[in-house]
Every structure is written in C-alpha cells, then in structure tokens.
Amino acid sequence: MNSLAVSSVSKSFGATRAVDDLSFEVRTGEIFAMLGPNGAGKTTTIRMALDILRPDSGRIEILGGPISQQIKDRIGYLPEERGLYRNITVLDCLAYLGTLKGMTSRDAKARAIELLARVGLDDAMNKKVSTLSRGMQQKAQFAATVLHNPDLVIIDEPFSGLDPVNTLLIKEMMYEIRDKGQTVIMSTHMMHQVEEMADRMLMVSEGSKVLYGRVEDVRRQYASHAVYVSGEGDWASLPGVERVEHDREKRADLVCLAEGNSTDDFLRAAAMHPDIHLSRFEVALPSLEDIFIEVAGAPQSNAGTGRKANGA
Amino acid sequence: MKRYWVVAKHELITQLRRKTFLFFALVFPLLMVGAHIGIGYMAASDAEETGTLGIIGYVDQSGVLEPALEEPKEFRPYADEATARTALTAGEIGAFFILPADYFSTGMVNAYTLESIPGGIEGQLRDFIRANLLASRDPLEAERLRNPAEVTMTNLDGTREVDQDTALALILTPIVFAMIFGMSITMTSSFLMQSVAEEKETRMVELMMTSITPLEMLWGKILGLGTLGLLQMAIWAVTGGIVFIANQDAGEMLASVGLPAWLPGVALLYLLLGYLLYGSLLAGVGASSGSAQEAQSVSGVLSLLALSPMFAFASLLKDPNGPVPLAMSLFPFTSPTAMIMRISLGQVPPWQILLSLVLLAAGAALVVWLAAWVFRVGLLMVGKRLKLSALIQVIRQGADQLVLPLENSTTARGR
C-alpha cells in the first residue's frame, strides 16, 4: 500500500523546469527520504503533493486518492520555511492548528499538552511563542505537525537548527510514528541522517530522479570494488589487489581490487594464506554523501553510470 | 464547524486580547465620557455656581425691587447698609448688593464682600432685577423683552427646521458620523491587513495552506475581524448612548437634528459593505506586500481615501445634493462616509441611496474576488512583493498557475 504515488509529474516555472517527469512511490509505514542539492525540485514536489502547487502534467495520489479536505486532515506538514504565530501562547497556537485540522478544541488542547510535555516544553506552554528560543520553537513546530496524529507526516529539513539532544528526541518521535504504521517523508540533504533513519530514498537532481530505492540497495549499488581489512600480513601480496591505502579514520587498510576480482575472492584468498591473519573484513560501501557528491556533482548525462570506488 | 469559523473565532479571540483593541474600544469612549463630564463641570462652575458665599444680602434704596418678585432663594433683603454690613462682618451673609436711590437712571449696583463674587450670583441678581423691572409690562411684551429673538434656521432644501441651539448639532452630526464610520472601517480593515501580513511574516502561511484554502482563510479573517469591528462600534454606541442619556441637552440636540428612523439600518448596511470592500482590499495588500511595515504605508493612503468626504465637507454643507457630494456618495470607496454625511445633512432621494448601495455591493464583490486571487498567489511569496505583472499573468492563465517568484523565494532563502 502506498501513502504517496507520484507518476510522471512535471512542473515548470517560466522557462525553468523544476520537476521533470518524476515518478516514485512512498510505502505506508516507512520513513522515506528525499535527497538532492539545492533547487533540485524536492520542495516543489512536496508542494505539488500537498496541492499548494498544481503540476503541469502527471498524476499524484496521496493516502489512496487525489487530495481533498479529508485527506489534508490526515497529513502533517512541516515546511522548510516555518514559524508559529508569535503573539499567542504556545498552547493556544497548537490548539488552533489542531482545530484547523478538524479536531475539537478540547481534543486539540489535551493533545497539545501531552505533546508539549513529550518534547519538554511543559513549562513553556503558557508562554508567548515570541519568548521561546529557536530550538524550543522548532520542537513546538514539530509537536504541531503531529498534533492531529496524521497518517502521513511530511517534514522538510527536520533537523535544521536543532542541537544533538533535540535531534535525538525528534528522531525518536519519528521512529515512533513509523512504528505505529504511519508514514514519514523527510526532505533533507543531511546524508548521515538518511543512512541511519530512512528505509527507502529518492535522490533528485535538476528535477529528475537519479537514485531511488532501499537505502541499503542504493549503497550496495554504489559499492566500490574495495574492502576494509585489519590484521597482520601484506595485503598487496594477495592476488587481484591493485593497491592498498591506510584509512586512519576507519583504523583499517583499504584494499582496492583490480577489475574482475570479487570481494569474495579476496576473502577466500586471505583466509587460505598462511602468513595473513584477518581480524576484520568489511566491504567498503560508500556513504550516501559520497554518492551524493558523485551524482549531484557529475553532469546530468553521466549520473548513475560513472561509478567508482571512493576510498577515504 | 466550518474551517472559516475556526479561523474567525481564533482571529476574534486573539485580537480581543490585544492591547490595541482594548485601547481603542475602551480608552476612546472613556475619553469621550471624561470630556463630557469635564465640559459639564466647567460649564456648571462658570454659569451656575453660586459659590460658598451662602446667603446674599441686598439693600434696595431705589424701590425697584418692590415687591421683590422672583427673589432667588439665597437672597435676603436688609433695611439699610449698616445692618447688612453688620451681618457681613458677623458672617451671616457672604456678600451684599446695594441698589442706590439713583439706580434707575444710572444702572449702577454696588457689591460688598470679603471674598470675590462668582459670576453665577451676578447673573441671578440681573435676572432678579429684570423680573421686577418687567413686572408692570404686558406678560407677552415682557417675555419678548427678555428673549427678543428666537432664531430658527431652516436648511436649504427645506426639510428640516433647526433652532439656534441645534444648528451646531446639525453641522457636527455628519462630521461625527463620518469620523466614526471612516475610522471604524479603516481601523478594522488595517487589523485585517496586519493579520494577513503576519501570516506571511511568521511563515505560517504554507502550513495553513495544507489545512485550509486561501478563500477559507480570507473569509475567516474577514468574519472574525468584522465581528471585532462591530463589537467596537457597539461599545462606542453604548457609551455614546449613556452620554446622551446622562446629558439631556445633548440628547435633545441630537433629536432636534431630526435624523430619519431608518438611518441605523442603512448605516449598518453601509458599514458592513464598506468594511467588506476595504477589508478585502487591504487583505489583498497584506497578502501581496513584502512586510507588515510595507503594507502599513499602503493602508495609510487607502484610509485617507475612505475619509476623503470629510475634507469635502464645505461643499457638502453648501449643497448636499450637488455634483461633488453626489459623485462621492456613489463611488464605492467614498460612499459609506459620504452618504452617511448626506443623509444626516438633508434629504437624499431614495434612488440615490439604492444606487449607491448597489454600486458598493458590486465593488465589494469585485474586490473580494480579486483578493481571493491575490491570496492564492501572493501569500506564499514570503518576504516578497507581488508584482502586478505576475498578478495579471495569473488572472490570464488561471489560479492553478502559480508564478515564478515562488520558486525564487525558496532558493533565495537557501538551505
């Protein structure tokens, strides 16, 4: 079952093609990440999904159908450019946003109190929004986004401006949403968060899909022809080894293999070799950051084909 | 509950809690009441106060005050100057007057006191002497001598008769009405504009657009703040009413202007339509301008337009049905204030009122429609001004086509 299905959607602003024939699906109950450099079309895609913008062509189904008031009530959205009303109390502000999503005033208030306590803002509940620090406002905004217990939560840059402690808190809450079977879509360019949190991902560049699928699969797809090893012995003496570098950060040696030699072959050879004692072996999967730089940095036509190991 | 009611309720409650509202709604009427009490007190102390002198003595050597008709109750006659002087030094009386034997030919009166004599006492003495001087005359003639000219003014179209006291009211009423009207409409509208600009400034608007439609937001705000404006008018009206009840003269004065009984109904209609027109216009300004401050300067100019009939008061007073007043009372942006001034000045042909209301309603509908377009396009362009060219483009292509600046605003802010 899909929470969002985007099929062949295009959108132009004047001469600029912001989104170009984009198709992807977000499955119910997953954390889905949208990645891409600035101006890649992430925000435009989200805005089209939410009916803030209309696509020039293509079809979007959200929570099982075309968008409507009832469906909007089941979505929680935290835009990148976000704020709260400044001159009312945090509690009033959240309660108001809840009633705009169709909650009764009493339910909205009760739920706001519960959530504000959860994000550690119980003391600030009756303070005016304008007196809150930026980090506190961010947490209040997150609380507002999930106030009406939405089936689909869409967050643009969820962790920007948050300190590590609060990042952890929001992360936990996002996991909780997924564990309840609800869906989270986050748009970000913080790769390590995606690696850690997302089940599946979409990378867009200049309005087009460049990478799409399970995060694990994407990393494996870009796996270099190299392994990280620790132990005793001369790795270079093994067959098929092109060169050996030491990676200080990983506290391991990176062994790059020549074309035609698999990592399994290397492992077998190393295990059989009498003078080599292997204490650690790991296939060198590139970080998403490496892939991102490779894909986004490369010209559009080469993206996705030019893959090469990138050691350090 | 419909979503625009949620917005309306929120706007109303939020504004009610603001100090600006409290100031205009309460301080203004308090000033009015205060001023009324102050003026009343000053008038009283000037003309009626007989002071703390207590009993006033008088010695009549001229015989004019025989047999002392209409003697004020504080006045007491004394046979001669010596007894009066004794009474004054003994503190029995606060002052005494002497009408000398030659009073009739000279008109001189001497006053003796240890303090000063308030103006009110001199007035009482004059009335007392006048009553006795006129005693021998024919009552009618006496009355004419006391009050030789009771001026009644009739306004030019001959519809209303006004006596001297109410001439002032006749001039003041339209000005006061126009001021209350103009201020109420422009103030409420500028509240509305600020509230819209705030949605942009706080960057709430993108979030709002995933909960409600732009039109629901516009309606909610118009309803909520319109209610606020009416509430404010009601508070003013009640305080105004209390002042008029407390002060019979003012009440009589207003009654004497002879305003038509249907005026409040028509006035309410003008007020509501005028607010709809200016409110949605300023909401559009708020949605399309870059900041609340920028919007504020535009609203200042528009407020002047709403109040402009007051500056044309001279020509209105001269000929309420002349071409300039007629044009102003038909043009939707000036008609609420202009027509209310004309109605309170004289008779306006019903067809003109009807036509002006129809034009105002049509104008309001047009502006609401335009504001809805602007809302859809302008709201999301955070921190940016909506260019006219962009608006025209949208109107030509349809609401679904949001224009360039939207994307610019995203990239410009950076990530």
Length of chain A: 312
Residues on chain A touching B380 (C-beta within 8 angstroms): 52
Output the pLDDT for position B405.
36
Q: Is residue A129 part of a domain?
A: yes
Mean pLDDT for chain B?
78
Are both A48 and A159 inside the same structural domain? yes
pLDDT tens for each residue of A21-49: 999 999 999 999 998 887 888 989 998 99
Output the pLDDT for position B409.
37
Positions in chain A short of pLDDT 50? 299-312
Single residue among A219, A240, A257 that ends a domain in this structure: A219
Which of A13, A77, A82 faces B404 most closely, judged by CB atoms? A13
Taking the Cβ of residue A97 and every Cβ of chain B, the question of whether any pair is shorter than 8 Å is answered with yes
Are both A230 and A117 inside the same structural domain? no
Are both A94 and A204 inside the same structural domain? yes
Which of A38, A79, A87 faces B207 most closely, judged by CB atoms? A79
Which of A83, A97, A160 faces B202 most closely, judged by CB atoms? A83
- How big is the CA angle at A39 (ends A37 and A41), to the nearest 5 degrees? 95
Q: Indicate yes or no: CB of A85 within 8 angstroms of CB of B204.
A: yes
Element (H, E) at B389: helix B388-397
Counted domains in chain A:
2
Are both A180 and A254 inside the same structural domain? no
Instruction: Report the gap between the CA of A89 and the closest CA in chain B (Å).
Output: 10
Are both A18 and A87 inside the same structural domain? yes
Task: Please tell me the distance from the alpha carbon of residue B15 to that of residue B18, in angstroms, as a whole number.
Answer: 5
Q: Indicate yes or no: CB of B403 within 8 angstroms of CB of A13.
A: yes
Output the pLDDT for position B162.
56
Task: Please tell me the distance from the alpha carbon of residue B141 to that of residue B151, in angstroms, as a whole number.
Answer: 18
Class of domain B56-146: alpha beta
Instruction: Report the gap between the CA of B202 and the closest CA in chain A (Å).
Output: 5
Residues on chain B touching A18 (C-beta within 8 angstroms): 407
Instruction: Report the gap between the CA of A254 and the closest CA in chain B (Å).
Output: 34
Q: Indicate yes or no: CB of A87 within 8 angstroms of CB of B14.
A: yes
Q: Which residues of B touch A (CB under 8 A)?
A: 1, 3, 6-7, 10, 14, 17-18, 198, 201-204, 206-212, 380, 382, 400-404, 406-407, 410-411, 413-415
CATH number for position A233: 3.30.70
Residues on chain A touching B414 (C-beta within 8 angstroms): 38
Are both A144 and A272 inside the same structural domain? no
Q: Is residue A52 part of a domain?
A: yes
Q: Which residue of B has its CA nearest to A78?
A: B207
Q: Indicate yes or no: CB of B415 within 8 angstroms of CB of A72.
A: no
Are both A157 and A29 inside the same structural domain? yes
Higher per-residue pLDDT: B289 or A167: A167
Task: Please tell me the distance from the alpha carbon of residue A303 to that of residue A308, in angstroms, as a whole number.
Answer: 12
Interface probe, candidates A13, A50, A91, A206, chain B, greatest B C-beta count within 10 A:
A13
Q: Which of B147-161, B182-196, B226-240, B305-319 has the lowest mean pLDDT?
A: B147-161
Are both A205 and A273 inside the same structural domain? no
Residues on chain B touching A82 (C-beta within 8 angstroms): 203, 206-207
Taking the Cβ of residue A271 and every Cβ of chain B, the question of whether any pair is shorter than 8 Å is answered with no
Which of A47, A54, A82 faces B203 most closely, judged by CB atoms? A82
Output the pLDDT for position A306.
36
Q: Which of B63-77, B180-194, B197-211, B389-403 has the lowest mean pLDDT?
A: B389-403
Residues on chain A touching B3 (C-beta within 8 angstroms): 100
Output the pLDDT for position B182.
84
Which of B10, B404, B415 faces A96 most closely, judged by CB atoms? B10
Are both A277 and A147 inside the same structural domain? no
Task: Retrieve residue B33's tokens.
Answer: 């009441």
Q: Output the CA–CA distances (angstroms, integers) from residue B333 to B273, B322, B337, B339, B356, in the order listed.
A: 10, 18, 9, 11, 11
Q: Is residue A291 part of a domain?
A: no
Which of A14, A52, A53 faces B404 most closely, judged by CB atoms? A14
Q: Which of residues 111-170 of A touch B (CB under 8 A)?
A: 144, 157, 160
Strands A183-188 and A152-156: parallel
Q: Indicate yes or no: CB of A77 within 8 angstroms of CB of B207.
A: yes
Are both A214 and A138 inside the same structural domain? yes
Instruction: Report the gap between the CA of A268 and the closest CA in chain B (Å).
Output: 47
Task: Please tell me the distance from the alpha carbon of residue B85 to that of residue A170, in angstroms, as a whole number.
Answer: 97
Q: Indicate yes or no: CB of B203 within 8 angstroms of CB of A79.
A: yes
CATH number for position A42: 3.40.50.300
pLDDT tens for each residue of B108-127: 888 888 877 777 788 888 88
Q: Is residue A297 part of a domain?
A: no
Q: Which of residues 184-223 of A touch B (CB under 8 A)?
A: 189
Q: Indicate yes or no: CB of A79 within 8 angstroms of CB of B206.
A: yes
Output the pLDDT for position B44.
58
Domain interval for residue A258? 225-283
Taking the Cβ of residue A40 and every Cβ of chain B, the question of whether any pair is shorter than 8 Å is answered with no
Residues of chain B with pLDDT > 70: what percent? 78
Residues on chain A touching B403 (C-beta within 8 angstroms): 13-14
Q: Which residue of A has its CA nearest to B411?
A: A39
Task: Please tell me the distance from the alpha carbon of residue A197 to that of residue A176, in angstroms, as a whole number.
Answer: 12
Task: Retrieve residue A71's tokens.
Answer: 């469906």
Q: At what angle do helices B164-201 and B3-16 cross, to 10 degrees?
A: 110
H helix runs in chain A, sequence order: 42-49, 69-72, 90-100, 105-118, 134-146, 164-179, 191-197, 215-221, 263-272, 288-297
Q: Are B78 and B40 in contact (CB under 8 A)?
A: no
Output the pLDDT for position B257.
63
Task: Retrieve residue B154's tokens.
Answer: 């009739």
Are both A81 and A177 inside the same structural domain? yes
Q: Indicate the pLDDT class of residue B390, thresholds 50, 70 and 90.
A: low
Are both A70 and A98 inside the same structural domain? yes
Instruction: Report the gap between the CA of A221 and the closest CA in chain B (Å).
Output: 28
Interface probe, candidates B195, B207, B400, B402, chain A, greatest A C-beta count within 10 A:
B207
Q: Is residue A306 part of a domain?
A: no
pLDDT tens for each residue of B329-386: 899 999 988 888 888 877 788 899 999 999 999 999 999 888 887 877 766 654 455 6
Q: N- to C-terminal Cα distance for chain B?
A: 38
Residues on chain A touching B406 (C-beta within 8 angstroms): 13, 53
Q: Where are the domains of chain B?
A: 3-33+162-410, 56-146
